[in-house]
Chains A and B, each alone.
Chain A
Amino acid sequence: MNPFFAIVRRDARLAFRQGTDTLMTLAFFVIAVVLFPFGVGPEPNVLARIGGGVVWVAALLASMLALERLFQADYEDGGLELLALAPMPLSAVALAKVLAHWLATGLPLAVAAPALGVMMNVPGDVFPVLIGALLLGTPTLSLIGAIGAGLILGARRGGVLLALLVLPLFIPVLVFGVSAVEMAAQGLSPAASLLILGGMFLAALALAPWATAAAIRQALE
């Protein structure tokens, strides 16, 4: 079988069988959003004002949780070295792992978002835009996050460091993701923001696997 999809299947199967990554990501997502009505009061107008932003920030933070371990297990047991020596380019390996990671974390986030949107009083007709924006944004977050995951291999306190490294790079995705939802909530067209999100995804798709491979190679030297 195609070696690319062999890696995707293996990683995805491992992730789903264990379930911890998906569960942890979703649990954090739900908890983070649910805390807001308690924090800012349950007044529906207030929640609706900040709803899009809250759901997005919570999704962004949740998607970071499982990043630290993206390459960790393979790095520790030597599997990563074998993959680096394989005929398949390391950037393709990285892309395959990112795809599996996104299927286990980003995709569930996008699917769960409407339920949380309801809790934040986000208007129902905004949900398609919310899901669409997350479907465009979360893969970008996974791609950028993978660069960070490669950089911290072997570092002390990798988890915290990873957050510091990738959060500045996440901000553009967040800005346009929320903008799309806000525009839709006001009845305007979210097309411009969605297009920019799409553009960022394509740029990340083209560049991030290559940077991730460079980061992994540094770790393996």
Chain B
Amino acid sequence: MDLLSQILVNGLLLGGLYAVMALGLALVWGVLNIVNLAHGAFIMLGGYLSWYLFTVAHVDPFLGLPITAVVMFGLGYVLQRGLLNLVVRAPMFNTLLITFGLEVVITYLAQLAFSADFRTINPPYAGGSWQIGPVALPIARFVAFCVAIALTLGMWVFLLRTRLGRAIRATAQNLVAARLYGVEPRHLYAVTFGLGIGLAGAAGGLYGTVSQVNPYIGAALTAKSFAISIIGGLDNPLGVLVGGLFLGIIESLTTLYIGPTFADVASFGILLLVLIVRPSGLLGKTA
């Protein structure tokens, strides 16, 4: 029983991180209709940025997150404005392929710049944990989880309540109508992609504190983010949060009871089931 509750807690903490990883992908997908295959690569870049901030400038990884997010936002804005806006109305394969091309470019550039070694962000409190009853709560993971939840809820409020958030949702629903109401689509698309990449950057910073970063982690993280977005649905950040937590717990349970090689089978099996039974996601509105 103790083991089970520990596994559940671990799964939950992992799931929060998963949710932030997927949030940016779901946002870009839902609004711009671009499935960003380079999403994981941006998470990786965010991880490296945080790592450099921590090792070179000695910025605490959690306090450095805003810097990472803002830099990545800028990168995302420029990429969308200068490149992706040029192909955004092309058929689906094309946007899929161009983001794949970006993924390849980013991965190889990262390999040239950072070498293939694994990097971990190790703040002094990294190894510590709090004991609550029978369950140990690793500090770094717990803080990462809290930041993840805060980011997701913040994103939710932003999309629901602010003027810019409304403009983004309006664009997702009807580009032409949004344009008539004074939304400047080129700028708005770039802001949305920037937000997605900024979130990916923040997720990368968090990922670096709980796991290891190297140039090749991108593809697997993209795949995971996909699964979560599908399971949660693209409609709203809370769905993504639920999807992330759900997947985190399922993976931990599968690892414990069936074996670590089946963690991926479980997550992708669930993804398939959800796609077939409820294509709009567990919490999504049915079309």
- A and B found bound together: no
Tell me the B residues contacting A by CB distance below 8 Å: none
Residues of A within 8 A of B (CB): none
